[in-house]
Amino acid sequence: MHNKGLGITVLQEFKWTKKMPLDTSLGKGSKQKISWSKKVLIILGFLFVLGAVALITVAVVQNKPLPKNMKYGIVLDAGSSHTSVYVYNWPAEKENDTGVVQQVEVCKVDGPGISSYSKDVEKAGLSLQDCMNTAKQVIPKKEHRDTPVYLGATAGMRLLSLDNNKIADKVLLSVEKSLRLYPFDFQGCRIITGQEEGAYGWISINYMLGNFKQSSSWMPFQQTSTETSGALDLGGASTQITFEPTDSINESPENFMLFRLYGKTYNVYTHSFLCYGKDQALRLRLANDVKNAGSTNLQNPCFNPGYVKNMSAVDLYGSPCTAKYKLFSSSFILITGTGDYHQCQQNLQDMFNKTECPYSRCSFNRIFQPELSGNFGAFSAFYFVMNFLNLTSEKDLSKVKETLKEFCSESWQQVKEKFPDIKEKYLSEYCFSGTYILTLLEMGYGFTSENWGNINFLRKIKGSDAAWTLGYMLNLTNMIPAELPSSPPLSHASYVGLMVLFSFLLASVVFIGWLYFWKPRCLQKGII
């Protein structure tokens, strides 16, 4: 035996012993044929492995992630209490996909909101500089010129422009002047409407949650779309409710916005209540209390027992929300807390006029609201207050009320000792703010213990703050296409992967077929 191939040698020996006596015709020529077939087999096997390796290499090289070309955008949220600068980025080649824009930086501007600089407008612009310098550091230099900057001012500026339009314009000019000093692509400063604020908040959270994704994978006609989530935003001067109602009753056209996003039409209800943000609501309540009591000395159930505060009349009556209540010439209002949750809630209920409604259904103050439907994301002050009270994941409304009742009844001294690191201004108002949130959601919008669990108090979604700013930028940069971009049903990686798999299958079928029909001599019965 010259053949050292183990298996074949043994089988040949077996055949030989069976076919005794020795057939001399299986001589030299036959042995050559066997070794020739073996060679072909080895060559074919080698080519097969080579082909497979080549296919895999092509697939891996072709799908190697390319160095990302990132684009950047800046949005300034000029709120009533403070301004935040948001820096977003996204891969340039994917800008029309959903869920690709990410927040890379948020910088909280020192000092109050820009509307508070009405007496010294130049300072409004100056206040933004530290955060704009931070943005300059975060964004690569080569991208500066292509980075759009938008400033949207909300309810604080809406109130200032109601009070004094000229001063509001001066404040906007001051911030514009300041933003133009930076190497970015300045796109404008403006006061956004309450309707825009609600709608952009809704777009932001649904974009971040991936709810606009039309999930299509194998078959393009099998597209299913996810339900959208409503948006609840509580600011200092206004509050917004926005959701996609199930019924299409559209009694109040000014409360509806029609969007066509990624190939689907959304008819969204939205309303912004000016003066119902938590800071203005407190002023509204106190101004009413002073009027009803006929005194500037107030016993207030919405502050912890033992809390005493002197509030200036300028502060109380200085906004268009309360200006009409100014009756007294006194320059201070004295507030003494009594810490009674039930009384506080009763007191706050008066702020929601439910008696008149010119439509089939209303939230409050004669404003149309369709039946609540689906889940809601509640952010901004809704989150801050509920998070402080440890109530963001409490799905039982009665437990929420119990916690609040307990917190309100704690003495101011106790509360201060328990939370020494929290600013007194915030801490003293948590009893009021928590009770206000509950009353607004229950009495105002009509949430009940049944659908309380549908509210998700959230601050961030996938690393980005829940705020109207992202939706504003997506809209102004035309990053949300009206129609779903036509794309092949498979991603490139899946396509190459499947091609490799099927090539293997085909090659295996051919190989097995070859083995079966043109059995190489070495594998023929009697040899193998």
Ligand X SMILES: Nc1ccn([C@@H]2O[C@H](COP(=O)(O)OP(=O)(O)O)[C@@H](O)[C@H]2O)c(=O)n1
Specify the DSSP class assigned to residue 2. -
278 binds ligand X (CB under 6 A): yes
Is the backbone of residue 389 left (phi > 0), alpha (psi -120 to 50) or beta?
alpha
When the beta carbons of 87 and 496 are compared against Ca ion, the nearer one is 87
- Closest CB 108 distance from ligand X, rounded Å: 8
When the beta carbons of 372 and 385 are compared against ligand X, the nearer one is 385
| Contact positions with ligand X (CB under 6 A) in 411-430 | 426
When the beta carbons of 277 and 301 are compared against ligand X, the nearer one is 277
Written in H, E and C, the secondary structure of 158-182 is: HHHHHHCHHHHHHHHHHHHHHHCCC
Size of the site for Ca ion (CB under 5 A): 2
156, 201, 305, 471: which one binds ligand X (CB under 6 A): 156
When the beta carbons of 154 and 347 are compared against ligand X, the nearer one is 154
| Contact positions with ligand X (CB under 6 A) in 322-381 | 380-381
Is 122 part of the annotated catalytic residue set?
no
- Closest CB 153 distance from Ca ion, rounded Å: 10
| Contact positions with Ca ion (CB under 5 A) in 219-238 | 235
- Closest CB 426 distance from ligand X, rounded Å: 6
Q: Which amino acid is at 275?
A: C
| Contact positions with ligand X (CB under 6 A) in 90-119 | 113
Q: Which region, judged by CB under 6 A, interacts with ligand X, from 229-237, 285-293, 341-349, 360-368?
A: 229-237
Q: Give the active site residue among 13, 143, 176, 197.
A: 197
When the beta carbons of 237 and 408 are compared against Ca ion, the nearer one is 237
Quick one: what does residue 283 bind among ligand X, Ca ion, none, with the CB cut-off 5 to 8 Å set by partner type? Answer: none
236 binds ligand X (CB under 6 A): yes
Q: Which position's Cβ is nearest ligand X?
A: 235
C-alpha to C-alpha distance for 354 and 245, rounded to whole angstroms: 21
393 is in an annotated binding site: no
- CB atoms inside a 10 Å sphere around CB 488: 9
Which helix (H) or strand (E) is 70 found in, with range? Answer: strand 70-78
Please state the φ and ψ torsions of residue 255, each to the nearest 5 degrees: -95, 10
Q: Which amino acid is at 90?
A: W
Q: Omega before 320 cis (within 30°)?
A: no
Hey, what long-range contacts does 495-499 have (CB within 8 A, 24 or more apart)?
496/58, 496/59, 496/62, 496/63, 497/59, 499/55, 499/59
Quick one: what does residue 80 bind among Ca ion, ligand X, none, with the CB cut-off 5 to 8 Å set by partner type? Answer: ligand X
| Contact positions with Ca ion (CB under 5 A) in 342-381 | none
444 binds ligand X (CB under 6 A): no
Size of the site for ligand X (CB under 6 A): 20
- CB atoms inside a 10 Å sphere around CB 377: 25
Nearest Cα to Cα of residue 440 among 231, 278, 215: 278
β-bridge pairing 238-243 and 230-234? antiparallel
346 is in an annotated binding site: no
Residue 506, beta-bridge partner list: none
Residue 389, beta-bridge partner list: none
C-alpha to C-alpha distance for 74 and 470, rounded to whole angstroms: 9
Residue 276 near residue 232, CB atoms below 8 Å: no
Quick one: what does residue 238 bind among ligand X, Ca ion, none, with the CB cut-off 5 to 8 Å set by partner type? Answer: ligand X
Quick one: what does residue 125 bind among Ca ion, ligand X, none, with the CB cut-off 5 to 8 Å set by partner type? Answer: none
| Contact positions with Ca ion (CB under 5 A) in 58-97 | 79
Q: Which amino acid is at 205?
A: I
When the beta carbons of 8 and 171 are compared against ligand X, the nearer one is 171
Which helix (H) or strand (E) is 224 found in, with range? Answer: strand 224-225
319 is in an annotated binding site: no
C-alpha to C-alpha distance for 392 and 457, rounded to whole angstroms: 5
71 binds ligand X (CB under 6 A): no
Q: What are the residues binding ligand X (CB under 6 A)?
A: 79-82, 113, 154-156, 235-238, 277-279, 380-381, 384-385, 426
State the binding site for ATP. 236-240
Q: Which residue numbers are catalytic?
A: 197
Q: What are the residues binding Ca ion (CB under 5 A)?
A: 79, 235
State the binding site. 236-240
